[in-house]
């Protein structure tokens, strides 16, 4: 089982990279809880190369349209983001998103087009942009080149999240120490088909825009695109990365060894962020990791693994610590992939042990007490072995609990 502790991480989050400052503040977007931060800001001391990926939901929030337009202008200096209101399908949506950028730009001393914007929260309600505009000067004054600054920004983008999602790491590229850090939010309405709910990544690596976009797309595919909490793809999914080049490495302009090293470290950070989102699914008690081995192709393994982690019945079985492997085989069967079910083995595993429950598509007599003990752990692996080929894939999800309904039954009110 692969865990967060298996990786070498450093402190600092989005401020681990040279030249980045961040902060979070409560300005009044969230009115029901004044102790929770609801506006975050990340600023680079120098202009950055930037890349991003967005939701494939046809219904897209206003900040996505504005951020796409600003990315097309070239260099970027900052990201401003609020929680408590998605600014999606809302009156004056794009106008208010632009106002957020303008307020940040005025404080920073750059153009509004050099600011990217994101929002998360309730859909369809008018954003109280005046409290954001009024709060930006104070927020700018709180910016720090420190772990505390990243912590503030990480908390500012949380909605139903119970823990912040923040990781950073370092790697030697061309003899220079390069840092990559990220923060993310995501707990519910997660079934991304691009990236994540909200994820902001910073790096001091010198890398061209083309290579940065390639790297992000490559990493997103094998991290954020392989998690699911509830099968819902948000209107606001945004994953942005800013690279300011302050590590002074030779600029990466092609897919050479330096590019590979950069992608490997970026993948590690995004893997940790994605996994932490699945683990913090709304009301969840279990992180579910599903690995499919012996598939004909990676695509087949991914489709089947996603089908299993997205299965409501499988989620319910894991919640109940019930080794109901039939739910797993059933989810494999309706995935749309062709395979021989009589050559499938299924096992459950956790820190408490491992138990084979299905072999060659048939149920086995197994120790129910041991199975229950294994499934009682907060992190559970579903191990699927096929006989179709040599490819494999791992995806991450969570169980479904009574609390998920409670959280979403009155989310708006």
Q: What is the 3-state secondary structure (H, E, C) of 261-323?
A: HHHHHHHHHHHHHHHHHHHCCCCCCCEEEEEEEEECCHHHHHHHHHHHHHCHHHHHHHHCCCC
Give 120's strand partners.
83, 85
Please state the φ and ψ torsions of residue 178, each to the nearest 5 degrees: -110, 140
Q: Given the residues 49, 120, 160, 196, select the one marked as catalytic.
A: 196
Q: Is 196 a catalytic residue?
A: yes
Q: How many residues does the chain have?
A: 413
The Cα 328–Cα 344 span in angstroms is 11
* Concatenated DSSP letters of 74-119: S-EEEEEEEEEE---S-TTHHHHHHHHHHHHHHHHTS-GGGEEEEE
Q: Phi and psi for 224 in degrees, rounded to 5? A: -65, -30
Cβ-contact 59, 88 below 8 angstroms? yes
Distance CA 167, CA 271 (A): 10
Q: Are 314 and 327 in contact (CB under 8 A)?
A: yes
Q: Which positions are catalytic?
A: 196
């Amino acid at each position: 089982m692969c865990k967060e502790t298996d990786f070498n991480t450093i402190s600092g989050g989005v401020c681990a990279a040279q030249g980045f400052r961040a902060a979070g503040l409560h300005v009044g977007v969230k009115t029901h809880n004044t102790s929770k931060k609801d506006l975050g800001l990340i600023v680079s001391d120098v202009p950055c190369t930037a890349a991003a990926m967005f939701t494939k939901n046809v219904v897209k929030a206003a900040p996505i349209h504005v951020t796409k337009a600003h990315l097309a202008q070239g260099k970027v200096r900052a990201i401003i983001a609020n929680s408590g209101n998605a600014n999606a399908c809302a009156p004056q949506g794009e106008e208010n998103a632009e106002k957020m950028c303008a307020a940040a730009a005025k404080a920073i001393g750059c153009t509004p087009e050099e600011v990217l914007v994101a929002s998360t929260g309730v859909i369809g309600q008018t954003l109280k942009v005046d409290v954001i505009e009024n709060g930006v000067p104070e927020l700018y004054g709180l910016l720090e080149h420190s772990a505390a600054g990243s912590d503030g920004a990480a908390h500012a983008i949380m909605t139903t999240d119970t823990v912040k999602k923040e990781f950073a790491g370092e790697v030697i590229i061309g003899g220079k120490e390069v840092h990559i850090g990220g923060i993310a939010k995501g707990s519910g309405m997660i079934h991304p088909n691009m990236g994540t709910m909200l994820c902001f990544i910073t790096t001091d690596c010198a890398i061209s825009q083309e290579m940065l976009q390639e790297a992000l797309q490559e990493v997103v595919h094998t991290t954020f695109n392989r998690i699911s909490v509830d099968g819902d793809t948000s209107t606001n999914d945004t994953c942005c990365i800013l690279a300011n080049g302050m590590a002074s490495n030779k600029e990466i302009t092609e897919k050479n060894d330096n590019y590979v090293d950069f992608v490997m470290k970026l993948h590690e950070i995004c893997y940790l962020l994605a996994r932490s989102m699945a683990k913090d699914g709304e009301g969840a008690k279990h992180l579910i990791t599903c690995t499919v081995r012996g598939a004909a192709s990676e695509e087949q393994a991914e489709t089947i693994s996603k089908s299993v982690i997205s299965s409501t019945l499988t989620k319910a079985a894991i919640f109940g610590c019930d080794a109901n492997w039939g739910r797993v085989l059933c989810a494999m069967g309706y995935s749309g992939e062709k395979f021989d079910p009589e050559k499938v083995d299924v096992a459950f595993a956790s820190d408490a042990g491992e138990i084979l429950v299905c072999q060659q598509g048939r149920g086995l007599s197994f120790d129910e007490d041991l199975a229950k003990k294994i499934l009682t752990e907060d992190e559970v692996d579903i191990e699927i072995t096929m006989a179709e080929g040599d490819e494999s894939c791992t995806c991450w999800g969570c169980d479904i609990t009574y609390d998920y309904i409670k959280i979403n039954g009155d989310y708006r009110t």
